[in-house]
Homo-oligomer: A and B are copies of this chain.
Amino acid sequence: MNADVLNFEKAGGLVAAIAQDADTGDVLMIAWMNREAFEETVRTRRAVYYSRSRNRLWRKGEESGNVQEVKSLYVDCDGDAVLLKVKQIGGAACHEGYQSCFFRELDGDALRVVGDRVFDPAAVYKK
C-alpha cells in the first residue's frame, strides 16, 4: 500500500507534512500524519493530519470548511516527511484566519505580522 513508501517508525509513528499552495507556492502550514491519516489523504485527495494535542485524526477543514484539496504529493529523501501541493478552500490555512500559519516574520528580536487576515476566527469557529 501507499504508506509503505514512508518511514513512520522514525518519529513515533508520525511523519511531518508540509502543505504548500499549489498555485502560489506559499508554504501554508506544517502538521503531522500517522499511517491512517496518510492513507486517507491519498485515498480521498483531501489533507488529513494527526493532531498530537487531541490524539486523533484531524480532517483539515472539518470545523471551518476550509479543506485542502491535494493536487500532488511528494516524499522526501529519507521518507519521514511529505509535501502536499494543495488548493486551500476558503483561502486560509491558519486557524487564526491567515492564509499561511507562517504569517509572522522575524524582524530583529521581534515578530512582525506580514500575512493578510482572510477571515475572523471567532466567526468561523464560533468559540
Quick check: is A103 within 8 A (CB to CB) of the other chain? yes
Please classify how large the interface on chain A is, using the bins under 10, 10 to 19, 20 to 34, 35 or more: 35 or more
Total copies of the chain: 2
> Which residues of the partner chain B approach A81 to less than 8 Å between Cβ atoms?
30, 101-102
**Beyond A20-B27, A25-B26, A26-B25, is A76–B102 a contact (Cβ under 8 Å)?**
yes
Which A residues between 53 and 101 are near B, CB-CB below 8 angstroms?
72-78, 81-83, 94-96, 98, 101
User: Which listed residue (B5, B25, B27) contacts A111, Cβ 8 A?
Assistant: B5
A residues in contact (CB < 8 Å) with B:
1-2, 5, 16, 18, 20, 24-27, 29-30, 42, 72-78, 81-83, 94-96, 98, 101-106, 109-111, 114
